[in-house]
Amino acid sequence: MVPHNLPTLGLAEKDAVLRVLGSGWVAQGPEVEAFENELCDFFGLPNGHAVAVSSGSAALYLALWVLDGKYKKIGLPAYACAALRNAVGMVGGQCVYLDCKKGTPNVDVEAAARAEVDILIAPSMYGIPVDLPENRNFKLVEDLAQAIGATVNGQRIGLRGEVGICSFYATKLMTTGGQGGAVISRDKALIDQVRDYREFDSRDDTKLRFNFQMTDMQAAIGRVQLDRLPEFLMQREKWFLMYLDAGLSLLDSSQLDNVKPVRFRIVMQCKEPPKVIDLLASAGIRAIVPIEERELLDESRLYPCALDLTSTTVSLPAYPSLHANDVVEIARYVKEISCC
């Protein structure tokens, strides 16, 4: 079976783990600090403006916490994973669910303004940068879980709001060995608060904190993966272009001159997703509906654009270690179905 997604790990990651094991220090330490600094370099930030944490969910919770999300109206897309709802609930905020903007999988930011939210969580779904206004009346958490490396106007996204977050789960664009995340910001005071929260042990005050630390072993893997990220993104772009050249109808934003997406998901638009998925499964190929109706975060009928996406999209295999021959075969099988 050709999997839908796989992490891309090799000898360099193995060597990094062995280096940490040989050092005798596997908890949070020098590798985490080095990884944070390299993330700052990646985003064009001064050192000290990134905090590595245990997961993307932890990063989102900390972002909402540092923005004083308790009791606040927090906008989030109904078309998203449950981690967003969980983080809002954990911080004590009020969920304000929003539909997608018509024609994209991303949240309708204008609807967030109309809803008078205090904070908006704005993911760039499938690696397609969300369209954000320069002027807004709410605080913004830019969610890069699926879009690290994407650019708008030649600048890497993630810093268009007060706080940005990354996820390094096993099947994201890069991984820190299964779990992991990061919080980034131009505002050093916010980052210092996040770091203070993470440093939970051996403190001289009674302030409540929690252990959201990343280990040195995770960070060592992350450093290798961050260095390899351009290679990963280039390979994913190659698969996208091969699917596109085969005549498949794909969600995209690269027709916009100022926007360069990354290909976390290669999402095909079609009339009968179950038929496509079953056909590919019979050929030993795993495809999925990227977000099904049952996974929407609120009552589906209230979000017509999101609901439409659940019944008209299929996510095709697109990870870096996929073989070109597999991409050709997948496209050929799909093209055999007249509904696409």
In this model, does residue 339 exceed pLDDT 80?
no
- From-to residues of CATH 3.90.1150.10 in the chain: 229-335
Cα–Cα distance for residue pair 181/219, rounded to 1 Å: 10
- Determine the CATH number of domain 229-335: 3.90.1150.10
- From-to residues of CATH 3.40.640.10 in the chain: 11-224
Question: Which pLDDT value is given to residue 215?
Answer: 98
- pLDDT digits over 310-334, tens only? 999 999 999 999 999 999 999 999 9
Query: How much of the chain, in percent, has pLDDT values that exceed 70?
Result: 99
Burial class (CB in 10 A: 0-12, 13-18, 19+), 79: buried
- pLDDT digits over 60-97, tens only? 999 999 999 999 999 999 999 999 999 999 999 999 99
Question: Which pLDDT value is given to residue 335?
Answer: 86
> Rounded to the nearest 5°, which phi and psi values hold at 200?
-85, -20
- pLDDT digits over 137-164, tens only? 999 999 999 999 999 999 999 999 999 9
Mean pLDDT of the 128-142 span: 95
Question: Which pLDDT value is given to residue 188?
Answer: 98
Half-sphere exposure of 182 (CA within 13 A, CB side): 31
Cα–Cα distance for residue pair 215/204, rounded to 1 Å: 23
256 falls in which pLDDT band (50, 70, 90)?
confident
Question: Which pLDDT value is given to residue 253?
Answer: 75
Question: pTM value?
Answer: 0.96
Beta partners for 2? Answer: 285
Question: Which pLDDT value is given to residue 134?
Answer: 86
Mean of all residue pLDDT scores within the chain: 96
Beta partners for 74? Answer: 95, 119
Closest by alpha carbon to 63, among 141, 7, 138?
A: 141
Query: How much of the chain, in percent, has pLDDT values that exceed 90?
Result: 95
C-alpha of 14 from chain center: 24
Cα–Cα distance for residue pair 98/123, rounded to 1 Å: 12
Question: Which pLDDT value is given to residue 254?
Answer: 65
Give the type of residue at 268: M
The CATH class of the 11-224 domain is: alpha beta
Question: Which pLDDT value is given to residue 92?
Answer: 98
Mean pLDDT of the 269-284 span: 93
In this model, does residue 280 exceed pLDDT 70?
yes
